[in-house]
Amino acid sequence: MDQVSAAIQASAIRASAIRAGTARTGAIVSAVRGAFSDPRLFQIFALGILLAIGAWFRDFSLRPTQAILTFAAALATQWACWPLTPNKPRSLRSAIITSLSLSLLLRADNLLVHPIAAAAAISSKSIFRFREKHLFNPATFGVIFALKLLPGAWVSPGQWGQDVAIAGWVVVLGMLVTQRARRADISWAFLAFYLGALALRVAYLGQRWSVWTHQLSSGALLLFAFFMISDPMTAPNSRAGRIAHAAVVAAIAYAWQFGFYRTNGLIWALFIAAACVPLWDALWPAPKFNWTQNGGHDETNSVSTIDARDADVRRDRARQAA
């Protein structure tokens, strides 16, 4: 009898161990799936490839020390800013993306510009906020901050040239990222509006269409369309809002470049048009994009808590009026 009881007890222990092992395996698989559902990993991969291609084949005037200082400043500032937004998931992925973007865009003749711009870019996410959403794309803010306040800083949009192969790589990698973040609509809408305006200009001036196709293959334009304006944390929440925002950014960029004959029209347009995003979100309410704790993203839970609170207030007022 004792032997039977011992056998039953051993069997129960083995079954418990199997269940525990299965649960641990399931948790690991779930964690891996959650991590790879994060579009930021694909964006880091894509921007890293583009930076390597640019540094190796296009001879970017970026010193390795400048890139290292950019990453160090961005990661340190992100860590320091975490207490300012205690409800947000803590991750360094967005800071890495900002570091890669600044390394791709910003050029300087000294070692101070890049780390200061990186610190300003990451800080802007905690300082300039409206309804639980930061206003400016961090890399855009960092570049504008450097151009206006830091001596020796500049942007070289021509560094990518009009190489069709590089343009193809940017489009493929960009589509990979925007599709996973579900923000491809704003990228294609912006390209449609901006390239449409350029086509009308070519037709109005009687230029050859090779001028337009030359502009179409601009690496800087495609990089902007697929990696900057499509930022899910700063783009409007609704599709209608994103289409409207793409039109406004395209109009400002066109006017900046061909009306005022100023440089860096795309980056300035995205910076200026950031003020319109709260308006689009108010006109077309939709769930806000959020990064989840496990690294994925979620925009299905609800409209932001402030919107929900406003809805509760409106319902209370309606009941009182009735």
User: What is the per-residue pLDDT across 57-109, written as a single tens digit (0 to 9) for each?
Assistant: 766 678 889 999 999 999 999 999 888 877 777 889 999 999 999 998 899 99
pLDDT at 304: 45
Q: At residue 296, does pLDDT exceed 70?
A: no
What the block records as the tokens of 176 is 């990979």
pLDDT tens by residue, 196-252: 999 999 999 999 998 888 887 787 888 899 889 988 889 999 999 999 999 999 999
Number of other residues whose CB lies within 10 A of the CB of residue 196 = 12
The predicted model gives 284-312 an average pLDDT of: 60
Contacts (Cβ under 8 Å, ≥6 apart) of 288 = 132, 133, 237, 299, 303, 304, 307
Number of other residues whose CB lies within 10 A of the CB of residue 56 = 9
pLDDT at 31: 57
pLDDT at 306: 44
Is the Cβ–Cβ distance between 70 and 101 less than 8 Å?
no
Q: At residue 308, does pLDDT exceed 50?
A: no
pLDDT at 37: 67
What proportion of the chain, given as a percentage, has pLDDT over 90? 44
The predicted model gives 41-49 an average pLDDT of: 87
Q: CA quadruple 170, 171, 174, 176: dihedral positive or negative?
A: negative
Is the Cβ–Cβ distance between 83 and 203 less than 8 Å?
no
Q: CA quadruple 223, 245, 195, 147: dihedral positive or negative?
A: negative
What the block records as the tokens of 194 is 């901006």
User: How much of the chain is helix, strand and coil, in % rounded to 5?
Assistant: 70, 5, 25
Question: Model pTM?
Answer: 0.78
Q: Of 272 and 45, which is predicted with more confidence?
A: 272
β-pair partners for 146: none
